[in-house]
Copies of this chain bind each other. A is one copy, B any other.
Amino acid sequence: MSDTRQLHLGAFMRPVSLHTGAWRYPGAYADANFNFAHIKSFAQKLEAAKFDAFFMADHLAVLNMPVEALRRSHTVTSFEPFTLLSALASVTERIGLVATASTTFDQPYHVARRFASLDHISGGRAGWNIVTTANPDAALNFGLDDMVDHDERYVRAREFFDVVTGLWDSFADDAFIRDVDSGIFFDPEKMHVLDHKGPELKVRGPLNIARPPQGRPVIVQAGQSEPGRQLAAETAEVVFCSPRDLAGGKALYADIKGRLEAVGRKRNDLKILPAAFIVIGDTVEEARQKRLKLDSLVHYDSAIASLSIALGHDASGFDPDAPLPPIPETNASKTGRSQVLKLAEEEGLTVRQLAQRYGGYAGLAFVGTADTIAEEMAVWLNEEGSDGFNVVFPYLPDGLDDVVDKLVPELQRRGLFRTEYEGTTLRDHLGLSRPENKFFR
């Protein structure tokens, strides 16, 4: 495997896209949140394109936004990830399946079981996006009055990881003998009772599931704070992140990879995959126009609130169709304000267009032809900005088809992406080794 020189590609899925205007884009499947047939077709196309993984973000409450934005957003509801990814497991064969599970609002025995089971059902394709859950509304759905404190969430996450990985190792790989003649089904000597008693969690075990085919489902982490990065360095095999640009990507890459040695891990044990919004045209200008058209579908009333937040300044009185007026700099809004100003200048956007950008999707984006985007991606890879990308589709199905039909072949032509899966598990795709059992060697 020429691992270091090839990109890893995940699909950062929401059924209708992460972009809040996407459901109105011509050809979009506006009902995809609860239309399994659509999502199945997306997963099968991504598998045909040899993507490493299909990733479904997840939230434990209706997203908290002002009602004016909420009623216009398709992100309000969708499938629960385990049911969805398991249903996809039986209609795909190779693509990795990464589900989100919260360490703050779930139990390690449940989480360990579900991922182990998904790993068995999929033949070794499961990944766990460990999140501590940031949305304070989630707490209210689980009996609490207030969100658990940020640091405490990360302390529990670290212990939760130890318990889940310990439970996965409840049985040696060769515990199940199934010897029909002697009548011995399994060897109890090869079953480990975890008996974990920690400050946050008490779990006896053993898990009632055989060791997962991958030994451990792949561990993914997306927290960006200091404790989030440290948790990633200690536990994660893939990091999802959202740098704004190459400089930000390189800084994050250096920071997280730089933490590995101190915890006894190698640089290649962890892959960093920034979220990248990709809009492809036959010309760069066509791609830009597609993006402007998509942004234009975000309603101004909800968009302007997002711009005001980004600016740290109420923008609702500005002329929507004029350029951004001069805005006084305040301490609170320094970074946000300078980003908006930079964007306004680079793309020559009006207030309305800026608002719609922030209300739609304002993260890292590659907008151009298959050729220019492949070139940009190669730069990220070569300059250690990332080990690949977690692709955000601007609208579906067409935006996904463009990536699969145009960008992937261009990446393959350049030797930057596989033309066939070399193995069968998600670990194989990512070039990660199968961990040994903690209790049986």
Question: A104-145 toward B: CB 8 Å interface, digit per residue (1/0)?
Answer: 011101100110111011000000000000000100111110
Q: Which residues of B contact A180 (CB under 8 A)?
A: 23-24, 30
Closest residue of chain B to A144 (Cβ to Cβ) is B202
- How far in angstroms is the closest Cβ of chain B from A304? 14
B74, B86, B137, B204: the one within 8 Å of A83 (CB): B86
Asked whether A34 is an interface residue with its Cβ less than 8 Å from the other chain, the reply is yes
Asked whether A89 is an interface residue with its Cβ less than 8 Å from the other chain, the reply is yes
Inter-chain contact A204/B89, CB cutoff 8 Å: no
A71-B187, A206-B62 known; A36-B80 Cβ under 8 A:
no
Inter-chain contact B79/A209, CB cutoff 8 Å: yes
Closest residue of chain B to A118 (Cβ to Cβ) is B83
Inter-chain contact A82/B82, CB cutoff 8 Å: yes
Inter-chain contact A120/B36, CB cutoff 8 Å: yes
Most buried by B among A23, A59, A204: A204
Inter-chain contact B40/A80, CB cutoff 8 Å: no
Which residues 199-227 of A sit at the B interface, judged by CB distance below 8 A? 201-210
A70-B188, A87-B90, A88-B90 known; A209-B178 Cβ under 8 A:
no
Q: Which residues of B contact A105 (CB under 8 A)?
A: 107
- How far in angstroms is the closest Cβ of chain B from A119? 9
Asked whether A308 is an interface residue with its Cβ less than 8 Å from the other chain, the reply is no
A110-B106, A180-B30 known; A61-B187 Cβ under 8 A:
no
- How far in angstroms is the closest Cβ of chain B from A16? 9
Asked whether A287 is an interface residue with its Cβ less than 8 Å from the other chain, the reply is no
A-side interface residues, number (CB < 8 Å): 74
Asked whether A393 is an interface residue with its Cβ less than 8 Å from the other chain, the reply is no
Inter-chain contact B140/A76, CB cutoff 8 Å: no
Q: Which residues of B contact A60 (CB under 8 A)?
A: 109, 208
Asked whether A78 is an interface residue with its Cβ less than 8 Å from the other chain, the reply is yes
Which residues 208-264 of A sit at the B interface, judged by CB distance below 8 A? 208-210
Question: A66-85 toward B: CB 8 Å interface, digit per residue (1/0)?
Answer: 01001111101111101110
CA distance A153 to B185 in the complex (A): 34
Asked whether A297 is an interface residue with its Cβ less than 8 Å from the other chain, the reply is yes
CA distance A77 to B186 in the complex (A): 10
A62-B208, A141-B203 known; A183-B297 Cβ under 8 A:
yes
A and B contact pairs by CB, cutoff 8 A, 19 listed? A23-B185, A24-B180, A34-B209, A40-B90, A62-B206, A70-B188, A71-B184, A71-B186, A71-B187, A74-B185, A79-B117, A80-B114, A83-B117, A90-B91, A109-B141, A140-B203, A140-B204, A141-B205, A143-B201
